[in-house]
Amino acid sequence: MEKRRLGRTDLFVSKICLGTMTWGEQNSEAEGHAQMDRAFARGVNFLDTAELYPIPPRPETQGATERIIGSWMKARGNRDRVIVATKVVGRTANDWFRGGRPSRLVRADIEDAVNKSLARLSTDYIDLYQIHWPDRAVATFGANPTRLTRMPERHADETPIEETLSVFADLVKAGKIRHLGLSNESAWGVMRFLCGAERGVGPRAVSLQNAYNLVNRTFEVNLAELCAREEVSLLAYSPLAQGYLTGKYDDGALPAGSRKALFDRLQRYEKPGAAEAIRAYNALARSFGLTPAVFANAFVCSRPFVTANIIGATSLAQLEEALSAADVAWSEEMQTAVDALHQKVGNPCP
């Protein structure tokens, strides 16, 4: 599988990254291990997780995903061949991460998070340590709205980006992490982190993990140019729009065992106009002789500004389908058809 440089680092990651957020909730440890075995046999060398996982976040299961990855690397003895990315939560009122108090992107909380992640992962270092979402208030989760109805009020105790950066500098110096990554960030936020690094406050952010898929191409508006010029890698999450771009929810269908049926947490992809746009993309996929899931993943993999496409699966069959997208020759005809449809429907699911 093709490997692509991560930012300006000396790391080369597979163009498909294995997402893990179902392990410990919808998937068992054995199933997680089987997925990693299959993905790595196909050339994947990149895993993405978070202290938050599995999803949905619950105190009873928090951290289980990292433990499953840790037990797999220990059993396989392959830590030196795996690029591990995990995340520290941003500001949250959920108190189970820090032993009974809310969490912010301040020194005590970041150090607590990284030490716990290292222990769960059974490793001495984390290749890519990402800030899951900002400490500051933003207009919407993901920080790329298609419209702004009001400016969010600032938290009175907002943590300055420079303060957070300085903690990451010490984590790099201590050898606990190799590189800093961002997630769910805006163009302003990314540039503030980069400017802080240029002033010597902390490490340079090498990646940005934001949503990117057929029904949410907001990354292209400002962030694509920023990341290309600054050599910040896009790690695209939600390529299947939380399952909607597989076709399984078309026309109101609700398959048993699906994330929608189990948790009903898919509102990001249920906005006005979303259902019509999703059906149209799924039909377009079939017109090219591909399943909607393969088509949607192949689109993300084909974009020149995407370093890695973060896939997810709850079964080996789903995993194989996602991995097969890496072999699709994305054509100019496909792109022209996708762009023509996007011109009509825009970004209904930011």
pLDDT at 150 over 90: no
Q: CA-CA distances (angstroms) from residue 296 to 46, 51, 250, 326, 342?
A: 20, 28, 15, 11, 13
- Band of the pLDDT at 148, cuts 50, 70, 90? confident
CATH of the domain at 204: 3.20.20.100
Q: CA-CA distances (angstroms) from residue 29 to 21, 45, 54?
A: 12, 19, 12
For residue 126, the model assigns a pLDDT of 99
pLDDT at 298 over 80: yes
In a domain, 350, yes or no: no
Exposure string of 123-145, with b = 16+ CB inside 10 Å and e = fewer, is bebbbbbbbbbbbbebbeebbbe
pLDDT at 144 over 90: no
Tens digits of per-residue pLDDT, 204-236? 999 999 999 999 999 999 999 999 999 999 999
Residue 53 annotated to the active site: yes
For residue 146, the model assigns a pLDDT of 87
The count of other CB atoms within 10 Å of the CB of residue 216 is 24
In a domain, 324, yes or no: yes
Tens digits of per-residue pLDDT, 66-106? 999 999 999 999 999 999 999 999 999 999 999 999 999 99
For residue 168, the model assigns a pLDDT of 98
For residue 149, the model assigns a pLDDT of 82
- Band of the pLDDT at 345, cuts 50, 70, 90? very high
Pick from 82, 168, 164, 79: nearest CA to 129: 168
Q: What percent of the chain has pLDDT over 90?
A: 95
Structure tokens at 43: 């050339």
In a domain, 238, yes or no: yes
CA–CA gap between residue 115 and residue 113 (Å, rounded):
6
In a domain, 144, yes or no: yes
In a domain, 90, yes or no: yes
Candidates 53, 249, 269, 281; catalytic one: 53
Kindly report the backbone phi and psi dihedral angles of residue 92, in degrees, each rounded to the nearest multiple of 5, phi listed first: -150, 145
Structure tokens at 69: 């990855």
Q: What percent of the chain has pLDDT over 70?
A: 100
In a domain, 245, yes or no: yes
In a domain, 237, yes or no: yes
Tens digits of per-residue pLDDT, 11-25? 999 999 999 999 999
Q: Number of structural domains, the chain?
A: 1
Average of per-residue pLDDT across 34-54: 98
**Domain region containing 153:** 3-345
